[in-house]
Amino acid sequence: MKPNNHLERAELIAPDYIDAHGRPQRISMQTRERLLGLMSPWTDSASPLPPVAIFRQGEPQILSPVLLTAADWRLTSEAGERWSGRCAAGETLILPELPDGYHQLTLEYEAQGYSCCIIVAPPRCYEPAALLAGESLWGSCIQLYTLRSATNWGIGDFGDLRRMIVETAQRGGAFVGLNPLHALFPAEPESASPYSPSSRRWLNILYIDVSAVPDFQQSEAAQTWWRLEATQQALQAARGAEWVDYRAVTSLKLAGLRLAWRQFQQRDAETPEVAAFEAFIDAGGDSLLSQGLFDALHAEQRAQNAACHGWQSWPEALQHPDSAAVLAFRIERSDEVRFYLWLQWLAAQQFAACWRLCQQQDMAIGLYRDLAVGVARDGAETWRERELYCLEASVGAPPDILGPLGQDWGLPPVDPQAMEARAFEPWIALLRASMHDCGALRIDHVMALLRLWWIPQGESAAGGAYVHYPVDALLAILALESQRHRCMVIGEDLGTVPEAIVDKLRDAGVYSYKVLYFEQTSKRAFCQPTQWPRQAMAVATTHDMPTLRGWWRSDDLRLGSKLGLYPDKAILTGLYRDRLMAKKALSQTLLRSGALPPRQRYQRGGARMTRALSMAIMRYLAGTQSALLGLQPEEWLDMATPVNVPGTIDAWPNWRRKLSATLDEMFSDPKVEALLAEVNRSRKAVK
């Protein structure tokens, strides 16, 4: 018997798909067979039960074990309640009505024991009381590393986040949205993409506010190092740089944190801080230990060979986390491993303090985290969970209008069959880590719950196919964990969205993600404010798109052409033409909605992006019916340079561009004050 929501192997890989132009595209049998061969085979064995069965609350909880003879069954609820009985061959097993949660069914059959995880989930994800009451909320959406301040060490940190929380809340904001805070590669600081992390379970230690660490403050050695002229010069250079200098920042922070670590090691084992650290290690289990081991090993391997980029380039004996060589390293370098575990503890402590600050500020949502679609091929997560990933494939996107070559994100896909065989435990653990200390979770590329574009190793992005995932099971678990953590869910549903998932997401209480640029309804108009969906978050742009000023000036098209992203000049010409029409349509929509005064009429050839026009767009977005509105500081500051150019790796300094003003300068700017005050008034007026 296959588990509920299970996809047959033949159904896993779609034979065709509809492209961005609405045309059907056929996938070759060779590609389908090659991708199927990369997955783990379905190991049904002789079990009469599936590894997991998922039910929505209110549905009949019925199983049909594959039994040739009678069997005894026992059911234990998550709360410890027990039931038992006997099931005859061919008989349907009707379970007692179970509450939401994770329960365990065991079957004694032919002298062997078999088990099945029974998951009962609520119908919808959690929604904050303010949204259920009809309020329309807004907040700031930041790339944390871009923040400038007089106190950080060249990269935005959790100290800056505290300031951002207070300033946003004081102006009526209900949340601060964040880029993925996932663990990256301390030993390889230039691998800076938050969407290509080492692990999604743990945090990026570069966000630690080192100056706020008690053991840094109390360490005489650390304070002596801090006062050195060379230290201050390096700090000022990193802080004043236009782009984040990850190498310099990492060098500074690890130097200061190592001195603080020595101070921490002098604490008595009975102190609350040491006890809290040990409890953190125990709670983190194998996942945390593997993260510390990986970071320590990676640092050692990089010190020996600068060309070593991840575990796949390590000596064979170290490529397996359970090997004798790794165990020996763990014992011999235990202090180094514990140092990296301590850094994770510091990061978790400081982030939790930011969450508590949101609650103290009475923010209706508070922090909003971002979950990347995958992990790097050679990071800590694939090192520990190799059987969960198909390392000989990568995920991306097929060719479309804005990306005629397609996209290869370089991230190995999760094997859907391996996920099911483990009763979705990796998905559950990931959600629990991601929903900790926050009020909302944005799921990047939420269509991954239904399908992902897999690209076989060695093929171009166009040579892939869509692989399906058990969407109903994933959504049910998402709703269960969302309710338990009181964490709402926002799904980034941009691009080609299959009809099969639109209704499922809406019915499951997942909020849509509406970007201004994609809300053009005709050649002459954008969606009117009253027509924007309620169950959605409205934004002007995203980290993968140009800023408003950049979009208006077509900077993204010029830059993309320069970087070779648009090899077809006819397509590029068409994109310029479409952009010109879109600007005219947006201007006319702004006029009709009253967001733009009549005197600001659109001029042939394109009006300049002025402060008044930018304000009008913010005013228009603030008046939409969408429950949430996210505003980026880049728009407050009228910036043009993008933070990321999709499709590039070394051709553009992605994930490095800082804001053009410090937090002090930004929040003392009368224009920013006026904008946020007007947005706050407009959101309160939306009914």
> Is residue 544 in a domain?
no
For the cut 80, the answer to whether the pLDDT of residue 167 exceeds it is: yes
Q: What angle do CA 597, 603, 609 make, to 5 degrees?
A: 70
Length of the chain: 687
Burial environment of residue 3 by CB neighbours within 10 A (0 to 12, 13 to 18, 19 or more): buried
Instruction: Using alpha carbons, select from 671, 667, 674 the residue that is nearest to residue 169.
Output: 667
The tokens of 524 are what?
A: 């002459």
**Distance from C-alpha of 357 to C-alpha of 363, rounded to nearest angstrom:** 9
Q: How far apart are the first and last CA of the chain?
A: 50
User: What's the rounded mean pLDDT across residues 240-267?
Assistant: 98
> Is residue 484 in a domain?
no
Contact yes or no for 60/96 (Cβ under 8 A): no
pLDDT at 400: 77
Please write the tens of the pLDDT for every residue from 374-431.
Answer: 999 999 999 999 999 999 999 999 987 667 778 899 999 999 999 999 999 999 999 9
Burial environment of residue 670 by CB neighbours within 10 A (0 to 12, 13 to 18, 19 or more): exposed
> Is residue 426 in a domain?
no
User: 625 pairs with which residues across the strands?
Assistant: none
pLDDT at 20: 75
Q: Does the CA dihedral 625-631-637-638 come out positive or negative? A: negative
Write phi, then psi, for 680 (nearest 5 degrees): -60, -40
- Residue 326, amino acid: V
For the cut 50, the answer to whether the pLDDT of residue 248 exceeds it is: yes
DSSP assignment of 440-501? EEEETTGGGGTEEEEEETTS-GGG-EEEE--HHHHHHHHHHHHHHHT-EEEE---SS--HHH
Q: SS3 sequence, 205-252?
A: HHHCCHHHCHHHHHCHHHHHHHHCHHHHHHHHHHHHCCECCHHHHHHH
Q: Who contacts 339 (Cβ-Cβ below 8 Å, separation ≥6)? A: 258, 261, 296
pLDDT at 347: 98
- 564 vs 122, higher pLDDT: 122
Please write the tens of the pLDDT for every residue from 475-510.
Answer: 999 999 999 999 999 999 987 778 878 999 999 999
Please write the tens of the pLDDT for every residue from 202-221.
Answer: 999 999 999 999 999 999 99
Mean pLDDT, the chain, integer:
93
Give counts: helices (H), strands (E), the chain: 23, 25
H-type helices in 334-379, by residue range? 334-360
The tokens of 549 are what?
A: 């000023």
**Distance from C-alpha of 219 to C-alpha of 547, rounded to nearest angstrom:** 43
Q: Does the CA dihedral 302-307-312-314 come out positive or negative? A: negative
Q: Who contacts 47 (Cβ-Cβ below 8 Å, separation ≥6)? A: 1, 114
Beta strands in 67-219 (DSSP E): 71-76, 82-87, 93-94, 101-109, 112-121, 137-142, 175-178, 182-183, 199-203
> Is residue 120 in a domain?
no
User: 107 pairs with which residues across the strands?
Assistant: 73, 114
For the cut 90, the answer to whether the pLDDT of residue 262 exceeds it is: yes
Residue 373's CB: how many other CB atoms inside 10 A?
22
pLDDT at 5: 46
The DSSP output letter for 514 is E
The tokens of 27 are what?
A: 């996938």
Q: Does the CA dihedral 149-152-155-160 come out positive or negative? A: negative
pLDDT at 402: 62
> Is residue 62 in a domain?
no
> Is residue 294 in a domain?
yes
Residue 26's CB: how many other CB atoms inside 10 A?
8
**Distance from C-alpha of 57 to C-alpha of 323, rounded to nearest angstrom:** 44
User: What's the rounded mean pLDDT across residues 587-596?
Assistant: 92
The DSSP output letter for 599 is G
DSSP assignment of 483-497? HHHT-EEEE---SS-
- 513 vs 8, higher pLDDT: 513
Domain coverage including residue 218: 186-354
- Residue 269, amino acid: A
**Distance from C-alpha of 179 to C-alpha of 644, rounded to nearest angstrom:** 12
Burial environment of residue 330 by CB neighbours within 10 A (0 to 12, 13 to 18, 19 or more): middle
Q: Who contacts 514 (Cβ-Cβ below 8 Å, separation ≥6)? A: 532, 533, 536, 537, 538, 539, 624, 626
Count of domains observed in the chain: 1
For the cut 60, the answer to whether the pLDDT of residue 601 exceeds it is: no
Q: Which helix (H) or strand (E) is 581 found in, with range? A: helix 569-593
Instruction: Using alpha carbons, select from 61, 87, 62, 64 the residue that is nearest to residue 74.
Output: 87
Please write the tens of the pLDDT for every residue from 278-318.
Answer: 999 999 999 999 999 999 999 999 999 988 889 999 999 99
pLDDT band at 4 (very low <50, low <70, confident <90, very high): very low
Q: What proportion of the chain, given as a percentage, has pLDDT over 90?
A: 85
Q: Who contacts 524 (Cβ-Cβ below 8 Å, separation ≥6)? A: 584, 585, 588
For the cut 50, the answer to whether the pLDDT of residue 3 exceeds it is: no
Please write the tens of the pLDDT for every residue from 648-658.
Answer: 888 999 999 99
Whole-angstrom Cα Rg for the chain: 26
Q: What proportion of the chain, given as a percentage, has pLDDT over 70?
A: 96
Query: Mean pLDDT highest for which of 108-112, 203-207, 564-568?
Result: 203-207
> Is residue 348 in a domain?
yes
User: What's the rounded mean pLDDT across residues 240-249?
Assistant: 97
pTM here is 0.95
Please write the tens of the pLDDT for every residue from 608-645.
Answer: 888 889 999 999 999 999 999 999 999 999 999 999 99
Contact yes or no for 183/287 (Cβ under 8 A): no
- Residue 653, amino acid: P
pLDDT band at 604 (very low <50, low <70, confident <90, very high): very low
Contact yes or no for 179/196 (Cβ under 8 A): no
Write phi, then psi, for 438 (nearest 5 degrees): -155, 165
The DSSP output letter for 333 is T
**Distance from C-alpha of 403 to C-alpha of 399, rounded to nearest angstrom:** 6
> Is residue 99 in a domain?
no
**Distance from C-alpha of 615 to C-alpha of 655, rounded to nearest angstrom:** 26
Instruction: Using alpha carbons, select from 176, 173, 180, 78 the residue that is nearest to residue 130.
Output: 173
CA torsion, ordered 409, 655, 563, 545, to nearest 10 deg = 80
Q: What is the largest CA-CA distance in the chain?
A: 84
Residue 215's CB: how many other CB atoms inside 10 A?
20
Contact yes or no for 632/141 (Cβ under 8 A): yes
